[in-house]
Amino acid sequence: MKAAVIHSFGPPEVIRTEEVATPVPKNDEVLVKVHAASVNPVDYKTRSGHYPSVKQDQLPLTLGRDIAGTVQQCGSAARKFKPGDSVYAMLDREHGGYAEYVIVKERDLVSKPRHLDYTEAAAVPLAAMTAWQGLFDHGGLRAGQRVLIHGGAGGVGHFAIQFAKARGATVATTVATSDIEFVRELGADLPIDYKTQRFEDAVHDVDLVFDLVDGETQDRSWAVLKRGGAIVSTLSTPSQDKARDHGARGEHYMAQPDGAELRDITALIDAGKVMPHIQAVFPFNEVRQAQQQLEHSHVQGKIVLELES
């Protein structure tokens, strides 16, 4: 099968499309024929050598952390799906989705949302589960609370806005000028143009800050957080000293595959409450260009790779 593989860290040019052995599912594993795979920041961070969990001795490595496709073959203990079923998943770190076929643990595999095609479905798993776990598992966001989402127009952020609104929260979000109308359409109550406004002047007494930006933005966020609130970040651990000073929590996390949570997300999609936004679609042979665009351009929502079906 074809797979997009790196043998060394570096710029997009280190990605090679190679012929590799098609994997065989074991026990509780399922072999999925990949129709589409999304492109996430973790992919270019891994490729460039800036993702701490992946070291040189783990190369060569197939990139990609989420997919949509059809079941090809099931392991001996995998009985929830059958060949031909339409599915999607966030992958564990042992398997890469930039490939014609991929192994997925049965527990992590979920039936594709009914009203999404494979390209749309592939845009969902990693970004949506990162948003879900940050808001609810780590942030504890509840109906009636106020959340400030930094970076609400990106892959994770645009799902976070929709999830928070579906949960009954009031949503403020920092975005670029060009993203204001986009996040309003997603349901944001208070879009804040970070180029012309200080968010500290626009919001206060926030229950949760969901930080997808880091740096100075994260540090300034303590000023808008109510006592007992939390700053949850995908990028770094918020200052624990400042958390104590503000009577608050500061957490950093990395999203994990979770089939049960992805099924909850699927239910919201099927109910019409959440939709992925795709800015660009690339054919599989343009994987380098897809990563280049995500890494160096301003992207609303997601970028997806399409494989031949």
Domain with CATH 3.90.180.10 in the chain: 2-124+276-306
Domain with CATH 3.40.50.720 in the chain: 127-252
CATH code of the domain made up of 127-252 = 3.40.50.720
Q: Summarize pLDDT for 38-76 with one digit per residue, the tens.
A: 999 999 999 999 888 888 888 999 999 999 999 999 999
Count of C-beta atoms within a 10 Å radius of residue 104: 28
Q: Does the pLDDT of residue 235 top 80, yes or no? A: yes
Predicted TM-score of the model (pTM): 0.96
The model's confidence at residue 309, banded by pLDDT at 50, 70 and 90, is low
Q: What mean pLDDT value characterizes the chain?
A: 96
Per-residue pLDDT, averaged over 75-102, amounts to 96
Percent of the chain with pLDDT over 90: 95
CATH code of the domain made up of 2-124+276-306 = 3.90.180.10
pLDDT of residue 54: 87
